[in-house]
Amino acid sequence: MTERDIPGFGRVGYTMRTMMTFLSSEVLEDLRRRYAEPHRRAHTWDRVAELLRCAEDVVNGIAEPPAFILAILFHRAVFDPRTSDSAARSAELLRRAIGPAVPMRTLDRAAALILAIDGGEIPETDDPSLRGDAALLLDFRNAVLGSDYRRFAAYEQALRVEAAHLAPERYDMARSAALRMLLWRDRIFFTDRFYLACEKRARRNIQAVIAHHEAA
């Protein structure tokens, strides 16, 4: 596997080429295999590509690209919808797969970003660059909420399929609660770029899907 097999290579290419020294073909093939697991619908290799395309658009605003890109590549490398520790296990897989090939600081930062994606909150840290990168990555994650309604509805349906083990009533209640927590925020999106582009539509989409769940 080469850099051409990595989705969204584009303007993050220089960093990725540097990272190819420790992102071996075996590691990348394992990632692609994991993201192709049959129980996945939303958390797929296409989703990784989507996040990397977002990174391309703001590459000059990313404080530490190596950790940022590693976080994207590994953020759902482990995904079990029946458990709550997939993010922690993904971060641990990152450490095992990359190991001593990169500085510990980079691994720690990537792991913190993976946990931030899962928790939906900017980490409590004195490092403003980590807070900034986490804010960007969280906005990447939530950008789909502010997409056109067809794309948004397809994403919601994919999430539902991944949670097929949950009874409809339980899923509707849990998903509505998670979305309502976003509505309660002053801003869904942390960065001005995504706030201006996505906030209004995201709120409309969320309100529509909550109404659908409550009517079911």
pLDDT tens per residue across span 99-109: 778 899 999 99
Find the range with the poorest average confidence among 181-185, 188-192, 211-215: 211-215
| pLDDT band, residue 24 (cuts 50/70/90) | confident
In this structure, the dihedral spanned by the alpha carbons of residues 17, 93, 43 and 80, taken in order and rounded to 10 degrees, is 170
Q: What is the CATH number of domain 3-215?
A: 1.10.3210
| pLDDT band, residue 1 (cuts 50/70/90) | very low
Query: Which pLDDT does position 204 carry in this prediction?
Result: 98
* Phi and psi based region of residue 40 (left: phi greater than 0; alpha: psi -120 to 50; beta: remaining): beta
Query: Which pLDDT does position 100 carry in this prediction?
Result: 79
Query: Which pLDDT does position 3 carry in this prediction?
Result: 52
CA dist 119 and 178 (Å) reads 11
pLDDT tens per residue across span 59-100: 889 999 889 999 999 999 999 999 999 999 999 999 999 877
Strand locations in 59-169 (E) = none
pLDDT tens per residue across span 116-131: 999 999 999 999 999 9
162 close to 39: Cβ distance less than 8 angstroms: yes
Distance spanning both ends of the chain, measured CA to CA: 46
Q: Which residue has the higher pLDDT, 9 or 144?
A: 144
CA dist 129 and 66 (Å) reads 13
| DSSP string covering 54-71 | HHHHTGGG-S-HHHHHHH
CA dist 186 and 57 (Å) reads 25
* Prediction pTM value: 0.92
Q: Which residue has the higher pLDDT, 53 or 132?
A: 132
Is the predicted pLDDT of residue 180 greater than 60, yes or no? yes
What share of residues in the chain are helix, strand, coil (percent, to 5)? 70, 0, 30
85 close to 37: Cβ distance less than 8 angstroms: no
Closest CA to 27 of 94, 80, 78, 88: 94
171 close to 179: Cβ distance less than 8 angstroms: no
Mean pLDDT of the chain: 91
Percent of residues, the chain, with pLDDT higher than 70 = 90
Find the range with the poorest average confidence among 14-28, 30-44, 71-85, 183-197: 14-28
Query: Which pLDDT does position 16 carry in this prediction?
Result: 58
Structural domain spans, the chain = 3-215
Instruction: Give mean pLDDT, residues 172-193.
Output: 97
Q: Cβ-count burial of 51 within 10 angstroms (0-12 exposed, 13-18 middle, 19+ buried)?
A: buried
